[in-house]
Structure 1
Amino acid sequence: MNAVIIGATGLIGANVLAGLLADDRYHKVLVLGRRHPLLAKDSLGIDKLSFIQCQLEEIPCLSIPIDIDHAFCCLGTTIKQAGSQENFIKVDHTAVIDFAKLIALNQSLNQSPNHNQAGVKLFVVTALDANEKSTVFYNRVKGQVQRDLSLIPLSKLYIFQPSLLLGHRAHQRTLEDIGQKFFAIASGVFIGPLAKYKPITGKLVADNMLAIAIQDKELVSDASLESKAVRIIDNKQMHRLVN
C-alpha cells in the first residue's frame, strides 16, 4: 500500500508518519508540507519516504505522482498561531478541503488498472463538538470542514474528533500546556457524562487512525452527514478502539 500525509510535523501527524514508516505493509509514504519532517537518517522505514515541499495555498496546483491507498490530513492550528480568524480558516478549512479534493482527483485520474479499485480512504482530524451551526468559532469552522468534506466524491472518509490533545509539541501552545498539566492530574474526573471530554494523547489519535486504516473497522456513521461513506470516530471511541 501507499500513503500520503499532510501535517506530518504536528503532534498527531508526526505519530502517524512514524507508524506509516514502521509498517511494512506501506511501500511508499509521501509527505506534503512546508517543512521536511525532522527524522534521523537511520529512522525505521525512512527509505520509503518522499517529500514534496509546498505552501498550503499551492495544494490545488499539486499532483500526486503515485497511486494512493490511504491519505491522512493532520492539519491544525490555533487563532493565536495563525494570527487571525481569517488565517485560521486558511489552515483548518481551506487547506483541508483542498487536500481532500487533491485526493479525490488522484482517486479518479491517477490509478493504474492493477491498483486497488476500492478507492482512496481519507482520514481527517477535526475536533470534539464540531458543529457548523455552533456559536463557538473554532467548533463552527470544524463543523464546516466536516460538511464540506462530505460533499467531495471520496471512496471512504473517516473523521476523528479528539478532545484536548496531550503530548509534547515543538512549539507548545500555552493554554494547552497548562491544560495538559492539569488534566494529567485530574484525568480521573472524566467519567460518566464527562467521559467524552477526556483528554487524549496525539499518539493515541494516530494509533486509532492507523488501526482503522488497516483493519477497516465498521463504525457508526454520523447521520447528519447523510452518507454511508463517512464515518465519525469521536473522542470516547478513540479511547477504547485500540485497547
Structure 2
Amino acid sequence: MRAAIVVGATGLVGTSLVKQLCENEEYVSVTVITRRKLAYTNPKLIVKIRAFDMLEERDFEFAHELYCCLGTTMKKAGSREIFEKVDFEYPLTIASLAKKRGIPHLLVITAMGANEGSSFYYNRVKGKLEHDLIELGLPRLSIIRPSLLLGERDEFRLGEKVGEKIFGILKPLFVGPLKRARAIEASQVAKAMIVIALYEKSQPVYIYSSQQLAKLDYPEIQAEAISREQVFNWEKHKLSDAIDEEGRVNRDVVINRDKFKIEQENVPPKD
C-alpha cells in the first residue's frame, strides 16, 4: 500500500490528482503541502499548510511518490522574479528535500515546449528547471510535458479560454506531427501521472510528451476463464462416490433378522 505527497494541489491538474489518488485503492495516505486550505476532504487526506519559502526536510514524511504540480502565469505572478520563484525555485527546493528524505520517485509538470535555449521566456524557465532536476540525480524523475490544459478553473484566464476555443476549432487539423500539440484534459494528465507511478517501467529520467500522456490508462484486468471442470471437480465427486460405496454397511450384518426372530420366540409370555 502506497503513500503520496502532492505539492501544487490547488491548481487544475493538482485538484484532480488529489481526488484521483484518494479514490485509488493502491494509496492509503495522500499528504498535500499547500499554502491554503482545500475545499476537498477525504479520510486518506492529510493537509499541511506551509509557506514555501520556509519548507524544511521535516515537512516531508516518507512517501513512494512526490507529485509536483506547481505553476503559475506571468500575469498572476506580476513579475519575472515571482514567476521564477514559483515555477523554478520552489520545485527545485522541493525535489532536493525529497531526495534527502529518501522519496524514490518525483513526478513534475513542466511544459510541452520546455527548452533552455527557447526564445520564449516561459519555455526557457521550464527548460532550466528540467535541466537542474536532472542534474540533482534523483532516484527516479518523471517529467510531465502537457500541452494546453483543458478543464474548469476556479479563476478565469482569458488567454487560456481563447486558446481552448482555437484548439477546439483547429483540432481536426492536428494530425501527423501536429497531433502532439493537441490540448489535453487536466484530469487525463492527473490520471496519466498515477499510471506512470504505478505501472510504467522505472527509469532514472523519462520525459512524457502530451501525446503520450493522452494515451496512458490503467491496464485492463483480464478475467481468468474458469472451465466447468474447475468449477465442479468431477474427479473429487467420483472419489466421494467410491468412498461411499466402500463405506456402505450391509444392514443385514447390523440387524441379524434370524437372531432377532429366535430371541423373540424365546421371550416368555407376559401375565
1:182 Cα deviation after fit: 2.5
Provide the residue aligned with 1:132 in structure 2. Answer: 116
1:65 Cα deviation after fit: 5.4
Which segments of 5 or more consecutive residues in structure 2 lack a partner in the other structure? 219-271
Which segments of 5 or more consecutive residues in structure 1 lack a partner in the other structure? 108-118, 219-227
Q: 2:48 aligns with which of 39, 52, 70?
A: 52
Provide the residue aligned with 1:83 in structure 2. Answer: 78
Aligned-pair RMSD on alpha carbons?
1.5
Is 1:188 the counterpart of 2:172 in the alignment? yes
1:66 Cα deviation after fit: 2.9
Alignment of 1:80-229 (within 5 A): 80-107=75-102, 120-217=104-201, 229=204
Letter in 1 for 2:208: I
Summarize the Cα distance change of 1:85–1:65 in structure 2 as closer, same or farther, 3 Å threshold: closer
Instruction: State how far apart, in whole Å, the 2-side matches of 1:197 and 1:65 are.
Output: 35
Partner SS, residue 27 of structure 1: strand
Normalised by the length of structure 1, the TM-score is 0.85
Is 1:6 the counterpart of 2:29 in the alignment? no
Alignment of 1:55-70 (within 5 A): 55-59=51-55, 61-64=56-59, 66-70=61-65
8 A contact 1:120–1:156 mirrored in 2: yes
Instruction: State how far apart, in whole Å, the 2-side matches of 1:197 and 1:23 are.
Output: 29
Instruction: State how far apart, in whole Å, the 2-side matches of 1:141 and 1:65 are.
Output: 25
Instruction: State how far apart, in whole Å, the 2-side matches of 1:193 and 1:214 are.
Output: 29
8 A contact 2:13–2:189 mirrored in 1: yes
Letter in 1 for 2:144: F
Normalised by the length of structure 2, the TM-score is 0.77
What per-residue deviation string (whole Å, max 9, x for no partner) do you get for residues 149-172 of structure 1?
012232110001011111111112
1:239 Cα deviation after fit: 1.8
What per-residue deviation string (whole Å, max 9, x for no partner) do you get for residues 42-76 of structure 1?
xxxx11211111122122x2424532101100001
Instruction: State how far apart, in whole Å, the 2-side matches of 1:84 and 1:137 are.
Output: 12
1:232 Cα deviation after fit: 0.3
**Percent pairwise identity:** 36
**Higher radius of gyration, 1 or 2:** 2
Provide the residue aligned with 1:232 in structure 2. Answer: 207
Partner SS, residue 101 of structure 2: helix
Letter in 1 for 2:38: P
Instruction: State how far apart, in whole Å, the 2-side matches of 1:83 and 1:15 are.
Output: 26
Instruction: State how far apart, in whole Å, the 2-side matches of 1:195 and 1:231 are.
Output: 20
Q: May I ask how many residue pairs the two structures share in their alignment? A: 217
Provide the residue aligned with 2:30 in structure 1. Answer: 29
